[in-house]
Amino acid sequence: MSRATNHLDLLTGRPGRAGLSLLEVLIACGVLALGLGGVAALLPAAGQRFGAAIVADRARFVAANGHADMLSRGLASAAACPGNARAFVFGPALVGAASAAPTVVAAGSLGGIDAERFFVAEDDVVFLSLPDGPQNAFDAGGLGPRRYRDSIVWGATIVPVTTPAQPGTAAVLSIVVLRRSGEPKRISLVRNADGTYQCPEADRLQRLTGCSSALVVAVGGADVARPAWVSVRASWPGNVALDTEALAPEWQGQSLVVIGFEGVVRVEHHLVTLQ
């Protein structure tokens, strides 16, 4: 014999039912599905942001190591900056700039350094998938150095304060970290009335995206005495906003000619004394 248990409503004191109806369960499941769908929609964006954060963190260490390598290997020297050129580029990722602007030339002797490996971040190593587990990969049939992916590369520019460069004189050493090594391109930027610049759309998408940088080589149709890097604050169809506060006062308010590079992640500047 079973006895029914009465459930009283605490507000009205009347008997209530002992559970949820099927309709209430379905509504709750629908609300839960909507919430989970919103969370799932955020995952791709979160993954993209996480990947960008990893690249930015790697770029910071690569830039620091590049600065130390330039000094320790004696590349920040007057011997690497011959002639009366106004800027010198180091590394395969930047050397193409020498053909894009007459004021920029490739650096002189690198002291026997293998540029194809020296200017590559060596933290992304290649492993071979073998039946007994992954193994390190080496060049030259297993007899050469460790094999690395060129997912992060770097280069450098040296702009002497005075030309020709002499030992003991000052220069600006810039370390440039890139995600890929593409062909640099000379790009003309026409200044708008609001201080932004008109830019060809194809060049903007490839070389002048937001948070990237470009090398200014000409202002108002005339080559500059000392090329300088400028950061891209924002980028939208047909236009870019540059950090013009970092430019020389006489450059502001004029149209610019820059050299754009693909995949620029970070640019650091250091005032050095040429060896």
How do 213-219 and 256-260 pair as beta strands?
antiparallel
Query: What's the pLDDT tens digit per position in 9-59?
Result: 665 656 656 667 788 888 889 999 998 888 888 888 888 778 788 888 888
Q: Which of 99-113, 148-162, 261-275 has the highest mean pLDDT?
A: 261-275
Q: Cβ neighbours of residue 193 under 8 Å, at least 6 residues apart?
A: none
- 3-state DSSP call for residue 226? strand
- The model carries a pTM of 0.78
Report which of 80, 110, 65 is spatially closest to residue 92, judged by C-alpha positions.
Answer: 110
**Residues linked to residue 232 through DSSP beta bridges, in sequence order:** 242
Better-scored residue on pLDDT, 85 or 140: 85
Contact 117, 154 (CB under 8 A): no
pLDDT for residue 250 is more than 80: no
Better-scored residue on pLDDT, 148 or 166: 166
Phi then psi for 100, rounded to 5 degrees?
-95, -15
| Calpha distance 104→86 (Å, rounded) | 6
The distance in angstroms from the start CA to the end CA of the chain is 102
The pLDDT of residue 272 is 92
**Residues linked to residue 230 through DSSP beta bridges, in sequence order:** 214
CA–CA distances in Å: residue 263 to residues 23, 181, 207? 54, 8, 7
pLDDT for residue 271 is more than 80: yes
